Amino acid sequence: MKSIERIETKQNYETIKADALERFNDIKYSYECLAILIGLDTGLRVSDLLRLKVSDISYNEDSNRYECKSYIKKTNVSEHTTLISRETYKAFKTLCLDSGYIFTNPKTNSLFTRIWLSKRTNLRYGFSFHTLRKISAKRILEVGTLADAKRHLAHKRISSTDAYLKVSEKNSLDRVSSLYN
């Protein structure tokens, strides 16, 4: 996969997701691909993602949704719920993890590190793992509001989300201009 220049587009989201799903089947890449899939869906910071437990990902029968519950260390949110896709859930279930943390190295029985994951995604894909967080939030913004993106990212202030996603006045006016034509 070639390096991605403007990562914020829906096309790039789909390209990254398809590539991660394809590479997931190779055991050498399964953990990094699962991290990419969960990162794309949830927008979690890499440190919060790597602390996910097997019990944090589940299918909610009442709402017919696949959910990821996480603890957000930076903003001290004790139970942050985001959604994941059916494909991501199937990939997660394929690893047949019994319990404990999802991102435990089977050879050493210790957690994978941020450096390990960042190096792997940067070498293979040409972007930092943090970019997935922005892609995820911009996808939310395509169908929802800035408040939805704020909740998705677990930001404390909407001004943080606004600055993070670079929601400009021009972009905002372009989106609502059809109301005035």
Q: Is this prediction's pTM over 0.75?
A: yes
Q: Give the model confidence (pLDDT) of 22-35 as tens digits.
A: 999 998 889 999 99
Closest CA to 112 of 128, 126, 124, 101: 101
**128 close to 118: Cβ distance less than 8 angstroms:** yes
β-pair type (57-60, 65-72) = antiparallel
For the chain, what is the mean pLDDT?
85
Give the containing element (helix H, strand E) for 67.
Answer: strand 65-72
Q: Which of 23-32, 99-108, 159-168 has the lowest mean pLDDT?
A: 159-168
How high is the pLDDT of residue 3? 43
Closest CA to 136 of 73, 50, 42: 42
Grade residue 12 by pLDDT with cuts at 50, 70 and 90: confident
The mean pLDDT value for 92-111 works out to 87
